[in-house]
Amino acid sequence: MATTTSTGSRGGTGSKRGKGGSRNRTVTSSGVPVVQRRNVRAAVLTYTGVVLICLWGLLPFYWMIVTSFREVGYTFDTTPWPTHTTLENYATAFSTARGNHFGRALLNSLVIGAATTVVGLVVGVFTAYALARLEFRGKFYVLGLILGASMFPGVALVTPLFQLFTDLGWLNTYQALIIPNISFVLPLTVYTLTAFFTEMPWELEESARMDGCTPGQAFVKVILPLAAPGIFTTAILAFTAAWNEFLLASQLGGDRVQPVTVAIASFAGAQPHQEPYTAVMAAGTIVTVPLIIMVLVFQRRIVSGLTAGGVKS
């Protein structure tokens, strides 16, 4: 690619930079500036990377949905769109005659996820507010302890919790699944909301107290409404974490309280020793697509809740 250098002057015909105020501009043989050409190339590479990342993340979900509508005999068909479609796979997923208690598992997941989210938010809101707005000794050690608890591997808790809940008679009960989930989502809720409360200006509470509000009233009437985006974001993240939990649920819960993650893993097909891939894909679609839709619908609120905490003074 041939390039040329053009010279322009301001207020004179001199070609020197200092005297004539000239400026040099490198252009290609087609007359397009090199800088502009580089910007176009960078934009093309950026959008290409974004498209590839989106395909990498969305293609598995697309293939799951396509497979969920295929007949069993065409499970491994490589056609990228639905062929030989049927709704029988969705009926199989809910078929209790084949031992698939998927409907009850959906209800169990809703109960476990809702209870985990509500308790985790209530405890997390008050804990985060205390860590963000109150000064006391050892505050940073408390934050470090919470961070350390979040990094503890869940697999290390299976045996101790199994023994503890066996002694308490809690195996195959909701509390055996809800209480560990609460301990898992609490670090997430505390850290997210602590950052949110920290960004809120102190003048908000001071103004409320000058108007006659007690500290509790200022918290309820002023702080909580402003913290709604952060609380909403944290609720979605906590519910998603509880909804996707599998390890402890597979060990501590039985058929009566098993969530959808465990129910899908134990699906039975129409034929013995035959993996019901299409029914599994149908169940996976039912479980996953609502979460994706919820995140897409509320993505702006989620982003604002994670990046902004209020009016910063």
Domains of the chain, by residue range, sit at: 89-308
The total of other beta-carbon atoms located within 10 Å of residue 209's CB is 14
Q: What is the helix (H) or strand (E) element at residue 257, kind and residue range? A: none
Q: Would you state the pLDDT for residue 112?
A: 96
pTM, full prediction? 0.79
The domain 89-308: what is its CATH number? Answer: 1.10.3720.10
Q: Token pair of 267, please?
A: 């699906």
Angle at 49 between CA 44 and CA 50, to 5 degrees: 100
Calculate the dihedral angle through the C-alpha atoms of 39, 41, 44, 50, rounding to the nearest 10 degrees: -80
Instruction: Return per-residue pLDDT of the chain as tens, 313 residues.
Output: 444 544 444 444 444 444 444 445 565 555 556 667 778 888 899 999 999 999 998 899 999 999 999 998 898 888 888 888 999 999 888 887 767 789 999 999 999 999 999 999 999 999 999 898 888 888 888 888 888 888 888 888 999 999 999 999 999 999 999 999 999 999 999 988 988 888 888 888 888 888 888 888 888 888 888 888 889 889 998 999 999 999 999 999 888 899 999 999 888 655 566 778 899 999 999 998 888 888 888 777 777 666 654 444 4
31 dihedral zone (left: phi>0; alpha: psi -120 to 50; beta): left
Instruction: Spell out a b/e string for 111-124, using b for 16 or more CB atoms within 10 Å of the CB, else e.
Output: ebbebbbebbbeeb
